[in-house]
Amino acid sequence: MIAVLKQGTSEKQIENLTNWLHTQGVDTHISFGKEHTIIGLVGDTSKIDAELLSSLEIVDSVKRITEPFKNANRKFHPDNTVIEVGNTSVGGNDFTIIAGPCSVESEEQVMEIAKSVKAAGATMLRGGAFKPRTSPYDFQGLKADGIDYLIRAKKETGLPIVTEIMNANHLDLFLDVDVIQVGARNMQNFELLKELGRTKKTILLKRGLANTLKELLMSAEYIMAGGNENIILCERGIRTFETYTRNTLDLSAVPMLKELSHLPIVIDPSHATGIAKLVKPLSLAATAVGADGLMIEVHNDPPHALCDGAQSITPETFADVCDAVRKVRSVL
Amino acid sequence: MIAVLKQGTSEKQIENLTNWLHTQGVDTHISFGKEHTIIGLVGDTSKIDAELLSSLEIVDSVKRITEPFKNANRKFHPDNTVIEVGNTSVGGNDFTIIAGPCSVESEEQVMEIAKSVKAAGATMLRGGAFKPRTSPYDFQGLKADGIDYLIRAKKETGLPIVTEIMNANHLDLFLDVDVIQVGARNMQNFELLKELGRTKKTILLKRGLANTLKELLMSAEYIMAGGNENIILCERGIRTFETYTRNTLDLSAVPMLKELSHLPIVIDPSHATGIAKLVKPLSLAATAVGADGLMIEVHNDPPHALCDGAQSITPETFADVCDAVRKVRSVL
Amino acid sequence: MIAVLKQGTSEKQIENLTNWLHTQGVDTHISFGKEHTIIGLVGDTSKIDAELLSSLEIVDSVKRITEPFKNANRKFHPDNTVIEVGNTSVGGNDFTIIAGPCSVESEEQVMEIAKSVKAAGATMLRGGAFKPRTSPYDFQGLKADGIDYLIRAKKETGLPIVTEIMNANHLDLFLDVDVIQVGARNMQNFELLKELGRTKKTILLKRGLANTLKELLMSAEYIMAGGNENIILCERGIRTFETYTRNTLDLSAVPMLKELSHLPIVIDPSHATGIAKLVKPLSLAATAVGADGLMIEVHNDPPHALCDGAQSITPETFADVCDAVRKVRSVL
Amino acid sequence: MIAVLKQGTSEKQIENLTNWLHTQGVDTHISFGKEHTIIGLVGDTSKIDAELLSSLEIVDSVKRITEPFKNANRKFHPDNTVIEVGNTSVGGNDFTIIAGPCSVESEEQVMEIAKSVKAAGATMLRGGAFKPRTSPYDFQGLKADGIDYLIRAKKETGLPIVTEIMNANHLDLFLDVDVIQVGARNMQNFELLKELGRTKKTILLKRGLANTLKELLMSAEYIMAGGNENIILCERGIRTFETYTRNTLDLSAVPMLKELSHLPIVIDPSHATGIAKLVKPLSLAATAVGADGLMIEVHNDPPHALCDGAQSITPETFADVCDAVRKVRSVL
């Protein structure tokens, strides 16, 4: 870490600052320049609060050289993390395909979709039981019943299940859930992250709508600091000025996160754009860019559906996507 | 609400859709155009899930005409909401000035700052006891002790206190807290919002870093839907591409929110930019633009401070800001 | 186009508005609702100024149903545009690979790179002669000499050349240039676009840093309205809050633009992230997502290079990227 | 400027780099750390290309300590720049109020508005003759005729005039224009900036929709490097994710730019939000935050106007804004 001091800082002030830094367990190395004095901080700077430091009157700016995340940092864990989930694994040679409905609506719906996505090549089943909705008047999910239906589908198909948690008080309901999802809006719900850090559950941590990759890794670090290293990162689109697509899928995040961290990363092309037609091309792109897997919304099409189709892709389209993904994987 | 249908939609599909809409309690009004058919939804559309509707295969796009928020909507509550907090009120003729340290560090610190900000004109005392930090290794606050010190300062000075909650399970600790703050990162922690909706506490709801004004009002709606109408909105800077300032303070939000809603709104110039020198000009701007109050970080400067000053402004500067704010208020 | 009128609009005002709309060559269709009156505009609405319309006191909001671009619109030109450039074509079955140095530095440099990228599979040569630089003190390019060196490399290798124009007054220098690039910063330099519309040159139009896809297509429309339909769109990263990568490459833009328009689109992964290591994975992703080609910075490594490598990838790495791209193409 | 080198950089590589830096006219100062080697660049680093430097294989990152702008930098020009324009001045004790129609539509229109805004307190007249429009099918302005009408209004009222240039080839038409505006879309049209640097005209330089303050100052630097120091900066809203307002007015830019630069800065509240009702509160906020002036769209309301009002505020409202601005100025 480097702190650039403002012009006109006195020797006494510099001494006060370096003395304090030493009490924080880091060594300092000072370069007196004509215009600026620069203090290099040497040692374990992950516990130094860069924001506090840069807020000091005499400090012009602070630059981290080593990243503030440690457990999630590839530098200290060069090998890819591979997480066993049921009979499949994430982050290794297997390619993860998590599929299922946006919301769990009924046992029949989940069961039918589970069977069809398994047949097409899905390795896990997803479905929302607790739904984070912008409006209090929108459907909030089937809650405990929804999880129950997912567990029945898991028993029937053997697919591990992924579903979102919104409240640490609900953890008891997630005992038989294989992967607990933390949604984009809760990525910096640090209280929830801490609670999940105390479990041994695999956590699928979605990037927040306006969160940097560094913040995503710091949120992973919250969970890991508690002792739980089973984390799957998920990029699902970030908020930009573009309006044709709901969000902007940041596929550069995949190779960038691979460089920075050893954690596996999956891509959710369904939420990123909100447009069913874009799911296939973006799934192929995510595969080609080096993601460890995909998370895709699939909806069946029962006779009572409102209209002849919905945003989520159908099991047939999903099977087509899986085929194409396999082909791309075969040449990488 | 208007739904524009895609070209080529069949009459049967349109009938299915309108039948379903009728079961949702709204009337429909159809215009058949040469290129597009348009369905107007009439009645209480706040319960219609626009996202679901727009995801349907036959729907090109959906446009809300009436806003999805009701309790927070000025249309249905033309008069400004005025909230009594201790011996002061927010949203009426009083101008609210909430001041205090970023974090509560000790009883002495809080007590000293409380006295000095009261003398300068603050109407409430703020201080962080539970601190949301990006890094698990940064200081997380004094927690229950921090709240305890705030309460002692309240007893001593008479200033109502404002402090942040991060976990609904901590609500018991907030019994003597006058205003409970929901931080930017928890603005869409819907579980927390629902819990707060069940209390009668005044809630200071901060806008998320990348949340629209509509989403801010929908989060207020979550609390109000539970029966708690004591909400103060707070704009504290949004995330943009600009890097000189930490965030970009969106002062247009004030007159815009005043147009849309009857809830009071205060401005936090300290977090918005992260630059102490900008607090005064932005406080004056916030006053001039019509905000109901300010929330300002003030830090005392004890002998053991690291350096001769810190990011937060000092009590002296704060007194100067209060003076200038009063002058601007006098001519509005 | 739909105009939603404000509550309380009088019949006289509505009549004034519809009369004026009729003089603009569109028909109107009015729905009187309980809360809002809605005017549907029927006919050629591309000449209606939506911004002007929505600025009227009585208008609540305006929604376009048909897009404001016509020449660039796939609806009116269902077939993909295929542009012949030298002995290659863009937008058809060929996959375009434009490669070369960021800046033309010398004849030897360009010649050497041209030969090596041709050998690796490039279909066109790029190089900057006029360089748009944020700082007036940074290198501004070799200008006319730079174009001259490119033309010599074209004669030697047969590769068509692509280089950027910054001033319509320089057009004479571009006579032997095959593809004229309009850079991101000039995407809305409408005067330049109009001049290029009067030529028959193929234009590579880069998306601006903060421009929407609609604006990109409207800028293409400027050129096409002048009679020049030879346009290649280029996505090169947009400005977001993320800081690890210089910009955020928006790969969803490819299938989205394919849906909206018949124009070919290429991806520039080099500028998007500013990180050499990310060029290969993003090139593969761009290929998989359906782009018509790539634009990649390649730099040779002469003995006098400052250090052992630079941001641009080397000819060896480029050859490796081309191989991998071919493999992905083979399975699509 | 500091360059942090990557781990594993060899001594030979460091020597090559420092030798090259010396040929660029800067001295170097090296700190060998345990993990990273840091090179400090001392001297005139404004000509060092930070992007080139950071692109080198051995360089991890580059951090500027002194800003890359010199002529625009307050450090080297501590006193505020005051620009005489006609009988008024910008940046000194006078408060600048530039008012007029968005587009010049006719001589009568301009003349009438000019008189009324002068009576209300405007110090300059604005009006668009060349209009940058997103669509080639939208009204592009009256061009030379528009400028002619403005000049007539100037003769009649004595108000200096401000109008936008889009093409350096039109400069002859601007001989009698007092202030030449560079619009947001042309802020990085470097060819245009260079041409304007060769004139002695006062330039009103608008911040681009997605440009940082540093980039704004670098564009000012382009003009100043050519010898023209008469520049007025203008903040007019930046592009964010918020949709209620057209753009987000960044009022923090005012005190921030005042800190960084000696150039005057005015605020355009009309374009920033696109909402007439927000012009007054934002004008007051701009005044309170320390801006040197305002630029406000004012439209008269002739009998043939489409409807009873338009987005631009009326002369009556403008007079009310001017009054309120004066009151706020009186207490600052």
pLDDT of residue A266: 98
Q: How confident is the model at residue A193 (pLDDT cuts 50, 70, 90)?
A: very high
Q: What are phi and psi of D154, to 5 degrees?
A: -65, -45
Measured CA to CA, the distance from residue B283 to residue B158 in angstroms comes to: 24
C167 with C195: CB under 8 angstroms? no
Is D169 part of the contact surface with chain C (CB cutoff 8 Å)?
A: yes
**Within 13 Å, how many C-alpha atoms sit on residue D73's CB side?**
11
Contact list, A138 vs chain B (CB under 8 Å): 47, 49, 51
Arithmetic mean of pLDDT, C53-79: 86
pLDDT of residue A74: 94
Question: Higher confidence at residue A234 or residue B16?
Answer: A234
Strands A83-85 and A88-90, by their bridges, are antiparallel
pLDDT of residue B142: 94
Q: CA of D311: which chain C residue's CA is closest? A: C55
Mutate to test the interface with A, among C242, C246, C282 (most CBs of A within 10 A): C242
pLDDT(D31) > 70: yes
In chain D, count H helices and then E strands. Answer: 10, 14
Looking up tokens 């619009």, which residue turns up? D183
Domains of chain B, residue spans: 2-63, 83-331
Q: Which residues of D137-170 are buried (b: 16+ CB within 10 A; e: fewer)?
A: bbebbbeeebbbbbbebbeebebbbbbbbbbbeb
Please state, in angstroms and as integers, the Cα–Cα distance from residue D238 to each residue in B37, C244, C253, D184, D261, following that order. 36, 22, 22, 10, 20
Measured CA to CA, the distance from residue C126 to residue C115 in angstroms comes to: 12
* Residues written for chain B: 332
Contact list, A15 vs chain B (CB under 8 Å): none
Mean pLDDT of chain D: 91
pLDDT(D32) > 90: no
Arithmetic mean of pLDDT, C214-224: 97
Give the largest Cα separation in chain A, rounded.
79
What's the one-letter identity of residue C74? Answer: R
The pTM for the full model equals 0.93
pLDDT of residue B55: 74
Mutate to test the interface with A, among B137, B171, B213 (most CBs of A within 10 A): B137
Contact list, A222 vs chain B (CB under 8 Å): 136
In chain B, count H helices and then E strands. Answer: 10, 14
pLDDT in tens, D195-238: 999 999 999 999 999 999 999 999 999 999 999 999 999 999 99
ipTM of predicted assembly, 2 dp:
0.91
Q: How confident is the model at residue D311 (pLDDT cuts 50, 70, 90)?
A: low
**Within 13 Å, how many C-alpha atoms sit on residue B290's CB side?**
21
pLDDT in tens, D17-30: 888 888 888 888 88
Q: If we measure between CA atoms, which residue out of B89, B47, B84 comes closest to residue B64?
A: B47
Of B58-67, C92-101, D201-210, D319-328, which gets the smallest average pLDDT? Answer: B58-67
C38 with B39: CB under 8 angstroms? no
Helices B315-331 and B279-289 sit at what angle, rounded to 10 degrees?
Answer: 30
Question: Higher confidence at residue B243 or residue A85?
Answer: A85
Arithmetic mean of pLDDT, C223-234: 97
Is C275 part of the contact surface with chain A (CB cutoff 8 Å)?
A: yes
Q: If we measure between CA atoms, which residue out of B206, C189, B54 comes closest to residue A243?
A: B54
Q: How confident is the model at residue C301 (pLDDT cuts 50, 70, 90)?
A: low
Arithmetic mean of pLDDT, D79-102: 96
Residue D174 Cα, gap to closest chain C Cα (Å): 17
B57 with A309: CB under 8 angstroms? yes
Sequence-distant (6+) residues with CB within 8 A of A284 are A324, A325, A328, C288, C289, C332
Q: Given CA atoms A82, A84, A90, A92 in this order, what sign does their dihedral have?
A: positive
Q: How confident is the model at residue D266 (pLDDT cuts 50, 70, 90)?
A: very high
B102 with B297: CB under 8 angstroms? yes
Measured CA to CA, the distance from residue C227 to residue A309 in angstroms comes to: 40
pLDDT(C329) > 60: yes
Arithmetic mean of pLDDT, D52-64: 81
| Chains touching D (3+ CB pairs < 8 Å) | A, B, C
Pairwise CB contact (< 8 Å): C306 & D189: no
C104 with C150: CB under 8 angstroms? yes
Percent of chain C with pLDDT over 90: 67
Pairwise CB contact (< 8 Å): A33 & D33: no
Q: If we measure between CA atoms, which residue out of D135, D196, D134 comes closest to residue D167?
A: D196
Arithmetic mean of pLDDT, A161-170: 98
C2-63: which CATH topology? Alpha-Beta Plaits (3.30.70)
Q: If we measure between CA atoms, which residue out of C255, C283, C263 comes closest to residue C271?
A: C283
Q: How confident is the model at residue C308 (pLDDT cuts 50, 70, 90)?
A: very low
Pairwise CB contact (< 8 Å): C308 & D132: no
Pairwise CB contact (< 8 Å): D306 & C56: yes
Q: CA of A311: which chain B residue's CA is closest? A: B55
Contact list, A2 vs chain D (CB under 8 Å): 2, 4, 38, 63
| Chains touching B (3+ CB pairs < 8 Å) | A, C, D
D 212-251 → B contacts, CB under 8 A: 212-214, 238, 240-245, 248-251
Q: How confident is the model at residue D298 (pLDDT cuts 50, 70, 90)?
A: very high
Cα D293 versus chain centre, distance: 12
Task: Please indicate whether the domains covering B2-63 and B83-331 agree at the CATH topology level.
Answer: no
Name the 3-class secondary structure at C3. Answer: strand
pLDDT in tens, C176-215: 999 999 999 999 999 999 999 999 999 999 999 999 999 9
Q: If we measure between CA atoms, which residue out of C7, C51, C68, C43 comes closest to residue C216?
A: C68
D217 with D261: CB under 8 angstroms? yes
Q: How confident is the model at residue B307 (pLDDT cuts 50, 70, 90)?
A: very low
Measured CA to CA, the distance from residue A288 to residue C291 in angstroms comes to: 13
A 283-312 → C contacts, CB under 8 A: 284-290
D286 with D317: CB under 8 angstroms? no
Q: What are phi and psi of C302, to 5 degrees?
A: -65, 160
Arithmetic mean of pLDDT, C301-309: 44
pLDDT(D244) > 80: yes
pLDDT(A66) > 80: no
Q: How confident is the model at residue B73 (pLDDT cuts 50, 70, 90)?
A: very high
Measured CA to CA, the distance from residue C70 to residue C217 in angstroms comes to: 9
Pairwise CB contact (< 8 Å): C284 & A289: yes
Measured CA to CA, the distance from residue B69 to residue B205 in angstroms comes to: 16
pLDDT(B302) > 70: no
Q: If we measure between CA atoms, which residue out of A101, A133, A230 comes closest to residue A178?
A: A230
Looking up tokens 């209009």, which residue turns up? D131
Is B137 part of the contact surface with chain C (CB cutoff 8 Å)?
A: no
pLDDT(A166) > 50: yes
Q: CA of A281: which chain C residue's CA is closest? A: C289
| Most confident region among A91-95, A269-273, C3-7 by mean pLDDT | A91-95
pLDDT in tens, B225-284: 999 999 999 999 999 999 989 899 999 999 999 999 999 999 999 988 888 889 999 999
pLDDT(A33) > 80: no
Residue D107 Cα, gap to closest chain C Cα (Å): 21
Helices B107-120 and B315-331 sit at what angle, rounded to 10 degrees?
Answer: 30
| Most confident region among C12-16, C146-150, C298-302 by mean pLDDT | C146-150
Looking up tokens 């500091």, which residue turns up? D2
Arithmetic mean of pLDDT, C243-272: 95
Q: How confident is the model at residue B11 (pLDDT cuts 50, 70, 90)?
A: confident
pLDDT in tens, A105-135: 899 999 999 999 999 999 999 999 999 998 8
How many Cβ atoms from other residues are within 10 Å of residue C331's Cβ? 15
Looking up tokens 């973006």, which residue turns up? A282
pLDDT(B89) > 50: yes
pLDDT(D303) > 60: no
pLDDT of residue D301: 63
Q: What are phi and psi of A9, to 5 degrees?
A: -70, 135
Arithmetic mean of pLDDT, A184-211: 97
Residue B298 Cα, gap to closest chain D Cα (Å): 19
Task: Please give the DSSP secondary-structure letter assigned to residue B130.
Answer: S
How many Cβ atoms from other residues are within 10 Å of residue A50's Cβ? 19
Pairwise CB contact (< 8 Å): D65 & A31: no
Measured CA to CA, the distance from residue C266 to residue C254 in angstroms comes to: 8
Pairwise CB contact (< 8 Å): C190 & D133: yes
A36 with D65: CB under 8 angstroms? yes
pLDDT of residue D302: 43
Mean pLDDT of chain C: 91
- SS3 track for chain A: CEEEECCCCCHHHHHHHHHHHHHCCCEEEEEECCCCEEEEEECCHHHCCHHHHHHCCCEEEEECCCCCCCCCECCCCCCCCCEEECCEEECCCCCEEEEECCECCCHHHHHHHHHHHHHHCCCEEECECCCCCCCCCCCCCCCHHHHHHHHHHHHHHCCCEEEEECCHHHHHHHCCCCEEEECHHHCCCHHHHHHHHCCCCEEEEECCCCCCHHHHHHHHHHHHHCCCCCEEEEECCECCCCCCCCCECECCHHHHHHHHECCCEEECHHHHHCCHHHHHHHHHHHHHHCCCEEEEEECCCCCCCCCCCCCCECHHHHHHHHHHHHHHHHHC
C83-331: which CATH topology? TIM Barrel (3.20.20)
Helices B213-225 and B190-197 sit at what angle, rounded to 10 degrees?
Answer: 40
Of D57, D133, D139, the CB nearest to C307: D57
Pairwise CB contact (< 8 Å): D57 & C308: yes
Q: How confident is the model at residue D273 (pLDDT cuts 50, 70, 90)?
A: confident
pLDDT in tens, D118-147: 999 999 999 999 999 988 988 889 999 999
Measured CA to CA, the distance from residue B282 to residue C128 in angstroms comes to: 43
Of B34, B65, B241, the CB nearest to C240: B241
pLDDT in tens, A288-330: 999 999 999 998 764 334 443 345 788 999 999 999 999 999 9
pLDDT in tens, C114-157: 999 999 999 999 999 999 998 898 888 999 999 999 999 999 99
pLDDT(D49) > 70: yes
Question: Higher confidence at residue B239 or residue D7?
Answer: B239
pLDDT of residue A301: 63
Q: CA of D13: which chain C residue's CA is closest? A: C307
Contact list, A56 vs chain B (CB under 8 Å): 306-307, 309-311
pLDDT of residue C23: 86
pLDDT(A177) > 50: yes
pLDDT of residue A311: 58
Contact list, D49 vs chain C (CB under 8 Å): 135, 138-139
Q: How confident is the model at residue C87 (pLDDT cuts 50, 70, 90)?
A: very high
Question: Higher confidence at residue C138 or residue D87?
Answer: D87
Measured CA to CA, the distance from residue D187 to residue D239 in angstroms comes to: 15
Residue A245 Cα, gap to closest chain C Cα (Å): 8
pLDDT of residue A46: 76
